[in-house]
Amino acid sequence: MPREIAQLVLNGLMAGTILAVPAIGFTAIYAVLRFPNFAIASHLTIGAFAGWLANVSLGLPAALAVGVAFAAAGVAGVVSDELILKPLRPAGALTTAIAAVALTLVLENVIRFVFGNDLRGYALPIRRDWQVAGLRIAPQQVQNFGLAVVAMAAVFLFLAFTRTGKAMRAVADNPTLASVKGIDTDRVARLTTFVAMGLAGVGGMLVGLDTSIDPLTGFRVILSVFAAAVVGGLGSIPGAVVGALTIGIGEELSLLVLAPAYRTVVGFAAILFVLTLRPRGILGERAY
Amino acid sequence: MAQRLSRRAFLELGAVSLAVAGVPAVARGQGGVIRLGTLTPLTGNGGNYGPSMLKAMQWVAGEINAAGGVRGRKIQLVSEDDQTNPEAGVRAARKLIDLDKVAAIMGTWASAVTTAVAPLCWESRTFLTTVSGSDTITLLPHQGYLVRTQPNTQLQGKKFAEFMVAQGSKRVAILAVQAPFALPTQKVVGEELKKRGSELVAAVVYDKDKTTYRSEIDQVLKDKPDMIYLNGYTADVTVVLKDLYKAGYTGARIAQAYAVNQKLLSALPPEVTEGTWTIAPSPSIESPAYKRLAQALGNDDLDPYSCQTHDHISLVALAIAHAKGEATGTGIRDHVRKISQGGGARVDSAAEGLRLLAQGREINFDGASGPCDFNEIGDILDTKFRYEQAEKGRFKLLKIG
């Protein structure tokens, strides 16, 4: 039994780390732009397909293809935000969130139109798991874990030490004050969208590396991403990481008492639980 | 602001009333046409099959119309996408029934979609033809407004159990996706294995939208199976196969051919899929109907569903003709068995059948999918199965029988 629990926690840790990457993106957009951008689902998929093209057509190794996934999803995010969501923002967060849902369906179908419905796998060798102290772990999982940690570390360093990162935090903290201080809030909004959607793209590709991709890749994980952000505290970036790990490990541990078919309930239950008892989330709302 | 809103509201109202006013006019204008609905999964998990299923029906409709239609009336297909999603399927079916007033809806694929759409059909007396396999479907109180060309879970489960035991398997585990067929299949496979001296040692039903199934696989492997039956759809079985390989499982794997198909074999490295068996209801590949359809669709290796939908529209058109042109769900219900089975002249194309019916002769339609004979609740009586095995990323045919 202890070994079984350890294996479940390990599986959950791996799943949670990958989940954390798009969850950071989701929460960052919420922190700066103040609306839940559900379009992140299709940007996960865009990143996954861009990374797939780079990996399979151009022959780039996964670690470099992740960069392509980041750039493609980031650019797509900025373009769709400028054209569709930005003009709607004055109408309120709810309107923008609904538009984001519509946008994500449109983008998903654009991908379907271009690539079709077929499943695609990355050009990666599949290796048997390593057995360590009676626990099993896949080499690919370790690589994905590493990539996710690098991406998250880059975001934290960027926010903590660069001028632009500080500007982003300032806007998230108090947009009016930031703008009085001479920060170009429009530019910060664009940059946030770029980085956040780029992270979503990286998340999509990391999900795809271990599985396979199709136009529904992002849609499958968006609920868990949303749950992670809410549980950790919408708007808090460390919160998104804590939330993602909580959801990831929680979903796995639920298997001890629940049939696997009900695993998804963990995400929903976590949202209800947190909103009821601690609406600000585990870490509370702080941009950084 | 208020003015802009009210203008917009006015426009919306205007558009809606125009649309409503327009419907009967359109319907009246095409009174001579027989409208039939197609509801296939053009997107979602069934998206690999829906487009080809639709093409098969469009081709048959074209053939019928080119030969002069059904008793002089052309067939008009109205096509909708069920997105492999019950909710979207219901919306599309509502549109087909209420707005397009189709006599039949043809081609629903996922059992969950068919289960959701069926009540709308029998309540509105619209005929439904489906390729879904779940037992529960024909047990619904459909009053005869439903037939299916896919063998049910009982028949399929028995074939799977027979085959697994024939391969020497003593300990079978099932990994199934959460779907209406999951538990009935588990039950029948368990019973059939027991009868043959083998055993079902583990069964796990999983959620289809997960990105990894490592923990589910651990649960199943605990019981040391020598054969795992992967009863899911392509997207999730892809992940399960990968995870099984990574977990170091070297025993046998078997799956439905709709899940482990050529696209899956191409998407995965061959060592992951090597040796996986598939079983599928086989189309009648020696039949002239199959050969003509294969040529028309430019594909030598037709999937069973496209063959089945070819037969759906043929059966519906022939039943309408047999009902003396009564293009209603009730007409089709009352006549479909009179053209699909019995002692009439054997025909394998709708156009040929229509010609014979016009001469006042009785017919028995055998299609591209098989004999198309139905029992009283709408299940097919007989079909062939096709057994294949993955070898270096391609399928090797073992037998059809």
B58-114 pLDDT, tens digit per residue, is: 999 999 999 999 999 999 999 999 999 999 999 999 999 999 999 999 999 999 999
Measure A238 CA to nearest chain B CA, in Å: 23
Check residue A275 and give its pLDDT: 86
Provide the domain limits for residue B231: 153-281+384-400
Same domain for B274 and B163: yes
The helix/strand/coil state of B168 is coil
Longest dimension (CA), chain B: 78
Prediction pTM value: 0.74
Whole-angstrom distance, CA of residue A230 vs CA of residue A214: 26
Q: Chain B partners of A4 at a C-beta cutoff of 8 Å?
A: 218
Measure A253 CA to nearest chain B CA, in Å: 9
In contact, A213 and A25? CB cutoff 8 Å? no
Residue of A nearest to B268 (CA): A121
- Is pLDDT at B29 greater than 80 in this prediction? no
Of the candidates B301, B260, B258, B265, the residue with the CA atom closest to the CA atom of residue B277: B260
The ipTM assigned to this model is 0.79
For chains A and B, count residue pairs whose Cβ atoms are closer than 8 Å: 99
Residue of A nearest to B49 (CA): A117
Whole-angstrom distance, CA of residue B102 vs CA of residue A16: 48
Structure tokens at A223: 């609920």
Check residue A285 and give its pLDDT: 63
Listed in sequence order, the residues at least 6 apart from A197 whose beta carbon sits closer than 8 Å to its beta carbon are A25, A40, A43, A73, A74, A76, A77, A78, A81
Whole-angstrom distance, CA of residue B328 vs CA of residue B341: 20
Q: Chain B partners of A138 at a C-beta cutoff of 8 Å?
A: 246
Check residue A3 and give its pLDDT: 84
The helix/strand/coil state of B167 is coil
Check residue B9 and give its pLDDT: 55
Q: Do A121 and B267 touch (CB under 8 A)?
A: yes
Name the H helices within B124-268. 135-139, 153-166, 182-195, 214-221, 234-246, 262-267
In contact, A251 and A223? CB cutoff 8 Å? no
CATH number of the domain that B296 lies in?
Answer: 3.40.50.2300
Give the mean model confidence (pLDDT) for residues B31-58. 92
Domain assignment present for residue B218? The answer is yes
Whole-angstrom distance, CA of residue A171 vs CA of residue A163: 12
Same domain for B360 and B263: no
Query: φ, ψ for residue A5 (rounded to 5)?
Result: -65, -40
Q: Which residue is it, tokens 């519509």?
A: A102
Same domain for B221 and B103: no
Same domain for B209 and B79: no
Q: Do B211 and A221 touch (CB under 8 A)?
A: yes
Same domain for B237 and B97: no
The helix/strand/coil state of B395 is strand
Q: Do B206 and A263 touch (CB under 8 A)?
A: yes
Whole-angstrom distance, CA of residue B194 vs CA of residue B150: 25
Confidence of residue B22 (pLDDT cuts 50, 70, 90): very low
Domain assignment present for residue B371? The answer is no
Whole-angstrom distance, CA of residue A111 vs CA of residue A114: 5
Q: Which residue is it, tokens 């952000």?
A: A229
Which 77-96 residues of chain A touch chain B by CB within 8 A?
Answer: none
State the sign of the Cα–Cα–Cα–Cα dihedral A155, A156, A158, A159.
Answer: positive
Tell which phi-psi region holds residue B169, choosing left (phi > 0), alpha (psi between -120 and 50) or beta: beta
Whole-angstrom distance, CA of residue A4 vs CA of residue B187: 28
Residue of B nearest to A138 (CA): B246
Same domain for B390 and B265: yes
Same domain for B174 and B112: no
Looking at the partner chain, which of A7, A117, A211 has a beta carbon nearest the beta carbon of B212?
A: A211
Same domain for B171 and B189: yes
Structure tokens at B199: 């055993």
Testing the interface with A: which of B8, B109, B214 to mutate, by most A Cβ within 10 A? B214
Q: Do A260 and B206 touch (CB under 8 A)?
A: yes
Lowest mean pLDDT, pick from A40-54, B180-194, B202-216, B365-379: B202-216
In tens digits, chain A (288 residues) has pLDDT values of 788 899 999 999 998 999 999 999 999 999 899 999 999 999 999 999 999 999 999 999 988 999 999 999 999 999 999 999 999 999 999 999 999 999 999 999 999 999 987 788 888 888 888 988 888 888 888 888 898 888 889 989 998 899 999 998 898 888 889 989 889 989 999 999 999 999 999 999 999 888 888 898 999 899 899 999 999 988 888 899 999 999 999 999 998 998 888 888 888 888 898 889 888 888 776 545
Whole-angstrom distance, CA of residue A247 vs CA of residue A16: 7
The helix/strand/coil state of A155 is helix
Chain B interface includes A132 (CB < 8 A): no
- Count up the domains in chain B and report the number: 2
Q: Do B267 and A120 touch (CB under 8 A)?
A: yes
Read off the DSSP letter of residue B31.
T
Domain definitions of chain A by residue range: 2-216
Give the CA distances from residue A179 to residues A33, A165, A176, A182, in Å, rounded to whole numbers and listed in that order. Answer: 14, 15, 5, 5
Whole-angstrom distance, CA of residue B180 vs CA of residue B207: 12
State the sign of the Cα–Cα–Cα–Cα dihedral B27, B30, B32, B38.
Answer: negative
Check residue B174 and give its pLDDT: 97
Q: Do B269 and A129 touch (CB under 8 A)?
A: no
Question: How much is the mean pLDDT over chain B?
Answer: 90
Q: Chain B partners of A221 at a C-beta cutoff of 8 Å?
A: 211
Domain assignment present for residue B389? The answer is yes
Which 33-52 residues of chain B touch chain A by CB within 8 A?
Answer: 43-44, 47-48
Domain assignment present for residue B22? The answer is no
Same domain for B268 and B190: yes
| Strand-pair category, B227-231 with B384-391 | unpaired
Chain A interface includes B214 (CB < 8 A): yes
Domain assignment present for residue B17? The answer is no
| Model pLDDT for residues B307-358, shown as the tens digit of each residue | 999 999 999 999 999 999 999 999 999 999 999 999 899 999 999 999 999 9
Whole-angstrom distance, CA of residue B42 vs CA of residue B36: 17
